[in-house]
């Protein structure tokens, strides 16, 4: 059984959002196409408390984004909800990064329950939450494929996207166009 993990395709990570990934909404078409072909689709959402430690005002690296219950935290309207089987909220603990969809969530249990052995990963952003989610999936023993056409890097430092791809490949993750 193959599953698709759609990472954080939320308003705040798309153009106009609080922490927009360049060209972030360009992933939507590819995500919907992958979801239509997938037996089980899980969407993750960054879902932070208002005082999350990753926010600049708490000393973290990011502007305030994806605060639980706000419109910025909602999945982008372009994502076909009919194709999403489950939504997993992450990053809910103030003093944990929460980049990975597996960190402190029911994601692994959901995949095991659905007898998933291979996962496709897409969404935002390649060099943070997509990378962390794919690495954790690999660590949990799944065959993992990241789809470059359906992800984009935020690239705080130029080259972060390429470095993420190298790190993923070194960990045994397949990276495809």
Q: Where do contacts with Zn ion occur on this chain (CB under 5 A)?
A: 46, 91
Residue whose CB is less far from Zn ion, 56 or 77: 56
| Nearest CA among 122, 44, 114 for reference residue 84 | 44
Q: How many helices (H) and strands (E) does the chain have?
A: 4, 6
* Min separation Cβ 164 and Zn ion, Å: 16
* Min separation Cβ 24 and Zn ion, Å: 14
Among 8, 25, 46, 120, the active-site one is: 8
Query: Does 129 participate in catalysis according to the annotation?
Result: yes
Give the pair of three-digit tokens for residue 117. 């052995």
Whole-angstrom Cα Rg for the chain: 15
* Min separation Cβ 176 and Zn ion, Å: 26
Query: Does 90 participate in catalysis according to the annotation?
Result: yes
CB-based contact 45:8 (threshold 8 Å): yes
Question: How many angstroms separate the CA atoms of 21 and 155, rounded?
Answer: 8
Among 89, 129, 131, 136, the active-site one is: 129
CB-nearest residue to Zn ion: 46
Residue whose CB is less far from Zn ion, 47 or 142: 47
Question: How many angstroms separate the CA atoms of 81 and 75, rounded?
Answer: 9
Distance of CA 26 to CAs 63, 114, 139, 163, Å?
22, 29, 28, 21
Residue whose CB is less far from Zn ion, 55 or 142: 55
Question: How many angstroms separate the CA atoms of 48 and 89, rounded?
Answer: 9
Residue whose CB is less far from Zn ion, 29 or 51: 51
* Min separation Cβ 52 and Zn ion, Å: 7
Among 90, 127, 131, 136, the active-site one is: 90
- Active-site residues, by number, are 8, 90, 129
């Amino acid at each position: 059984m193959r599953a698709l993990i759609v990472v954080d395709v939320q308003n705040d990570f798309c153009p106009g959002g609080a922490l927009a990934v360049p060209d972030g909404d360009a992933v939507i078409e590819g995500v919907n196409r992958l979801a239509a072909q997938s037996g089980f689709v899980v969407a993750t959402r960054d879902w932070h408390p208002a005082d999350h430690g990753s926010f600049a005002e708490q000393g973290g690296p990011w502007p305030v984004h994806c605060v639980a219950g706000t419109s910025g935290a909602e999945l982008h309207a372009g994502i076909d909800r009919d194709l999403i089987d489950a939504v997993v909220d992450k990053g809910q603990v103030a003093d944990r990064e929460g980049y990975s969809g597996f960190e402190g969530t029911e994601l692994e249990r959901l995949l095991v329950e659905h007898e998933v052995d291979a996962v496709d990963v897409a969404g935002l952003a390649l060099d943070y939450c997509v990378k962390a989610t794919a690495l954790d999936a690999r660590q949990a023993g799944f065959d993992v494929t990241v789809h470059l056409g359906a992800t984009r890097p935020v690239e705080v430092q130029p080259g972060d996207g390429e470095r993420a791809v190298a790190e993923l490949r070194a960990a045994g993750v397949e990276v495809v166009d």
